Amino acid sequence: MVVKQTNTEELRGHETVDEIRKGPKFRPVLHALTSNPGVEMMNYAEGKKDMITLGQGEGDSPTPDFICDATYQAMQDGLTTYGPTLGQWPLRETLSQYYKNIYELDIPERRIFVTSSGSTAMHLSLASLLDKGDEVVAITPIWKNLIGAIELTQAENVQVSLDFDKEQGWSLDLDKLFGAVTPKTKVILVVTPSNPTGWSATKEEMKAILDFARERNIWVLSDEVYGRIVYDSDHKNMRADSFLDVAQDDDLLLVVNSFSKSWAMTGWRLGWIVGPKIAEDKIRDVALYNNLCPPTFTQYGAIAALNEGEDFLKSQVDLWRSNRDILVDRFKSSGNVDMSYPQATFYGFFKVHGQDDCKLMTKRFIDEAGVLLAPGCAFGATAKGYIRMCFAVSERRLVEALDRMDVVLQNS
């Protein structure tokens, strides 16, 4: 066998070896990623004492014991080896039963794909659907990590903003959404309920979006991570409407979900995707080369969450509903804050009158009040000036944060 040793200069034109070594060592797309103002504010607050952190999407309740106990038992039983790429079969069966119990939907196990986090579910979905030059039409404001995930695929991100009205809150203009779709569009991305606005798509809007996408043979990707964190619902089991309520089994629809928010499992990094039958093999192919399989023993904690977690979830939502009302009342009494009445999620997305620089305002809350929040410009081009506040904390902690923030609001 003859192996030809290729001169480095033959690979890179007339560059010298030294010039190549000095050049960038990473993919160009990584240098082109847009900055994350939310992380910038976290770094700015790092090391400052007595900081109340309400900038991340996380409650302050620990994971319930029944979930931890089930996970520990799985470890004791030796369930610590590699597992199936799309998740343990008992968890896929339990998720199927969960959709029957809570959503009154028949979703076969083969259409449910377990992932190591909801973020991973989104990355796997986007990696399965997009190539360089494709377009994603995304309804914004939207979590910055989703924008970054699109950028990593080298697809174009077309942002269509919700409309805001002081009386009516956030709403979707379907004509504006559909008008943004071009022949390059491969995916319509919807987060419902919405992080950060608390807006939720209605069943009629979902049907219209699916009908539109079906006619053009494009995918709908729905992030429904906050689907159980709702404060009013027409369903007997408190939940938001889902695209699965109006979809056909073979629709080009991927629904992303996570165990993080509803069951206080943010650090566990476990999620799932529901898709059509044709997606199973393709999602498996991508996941196989991403992380091989989700952690084995944690999936048995997830089974316990689904089977035993309704009382815990209800208690959390009751607390967050009360906190939401406290937040709305305090901001209303301040007289210089605009915020809609969140119908879902655990965020207040607000704007201080006359303060359009959300990063500067967020820094003021850090420096003058000791409260870390997330600047709205992290959630899309049209969210500048807004600030996101997570109220999934104890009432005492929320009230203390609001008391501190009053000092800044009174001087704005």
CATH number for the domain harbouring residue 342: 3.90.1150.10
- Pair (114, 100) in one structural domain: yes
- Pair (278, 353) in one structural domain: no
Q: For residue 166, give Cα distances in angstroms to 135, 158, 170, 332, 351.
A: 32, 26, 9, 12, 11
* CATH number for position 140: 3.40.640.10
User: Which among 286, 309, 332 is the end of a domain?
Assistant: 309
- Pair (287, 383) in one structural domain: no
Number of domains in the chain: 2
- Does position 1 have pLDDT exceeding 50, yes or no? no
- Pair (228, 274) in one structural domain: yes
Q: For residue 302, give Cα distances in angstroms to 66, 131, 278, 308, 325.
A: 10, 33, 26, 10, 31
Neighbours of 53 (CB within 10 A): 17
* Cβ atoms of residues 387 and 339 within 8 Å: no
- Does position 325 have pLDDT exceeding 90, yes or no? yes
Query: What is the C-alpha to C-alpha distance for residues 132 and 67, in angstroms, rounded to an integer?
Result: 41
Phi-psi region of 41 (alpha: psi -120 to 50; beta: other; left: phi over 0): alpha
Domain-located, residue 27: no
Please give the residue range of the domain that contains residue 352. Answer: 32-62+311-410
Domain-located, residue 5: no
- Pair (82, 133) in one structural domain: yes
- Pair (377, 276) in one structural domain: no
- Does position 83 have pLDDT exceeding 90, yes or no? yes
| Single pTM value for the model | 0.92
pLDDT at residue 62 in the model: 96
Domain-located, residue 297: yes
- Does position 22 have pLDDT exceeding 70, yes or no? no
- Pair (282, 226) in one structural domain: yes
Domain-located, residue 11: no
Task: Output the CA torsion sign for 336, 342, 346, 351.
Answer: negative
- Pair (381, 270) in one structural domain: no
- Pair (304, 344) in one structural domain: no
pLDDT in tens, 363-374: 999 999 999 999
User: Which among 251, 285, 309 is the end of a domain?
Assistant: 309
What's the whole-number average pLDDT of the chain?
93
Q: Which helix (H) or strand (E) holds 343?
A: none
- Pair (253, 292) in one structural domain: yes
Domain-located, residue 194: yes
Domain-located, residue 374: yes
- Pair (278, 320) in one structural domain: no
Query: What is the C-alpha to C-alpha distance for residues 190 and 202, in angstroms, rounded to an integer?
Result: 12
pLDDT in tens, 376-408: 999 988 899 999 999 999 999 999 999 999 999
pLDDT above 90 covers a percentage of the chain that reads 85
Number of H helices, E strands in the chain: 15, 15
Domain-located, residue 284: yes
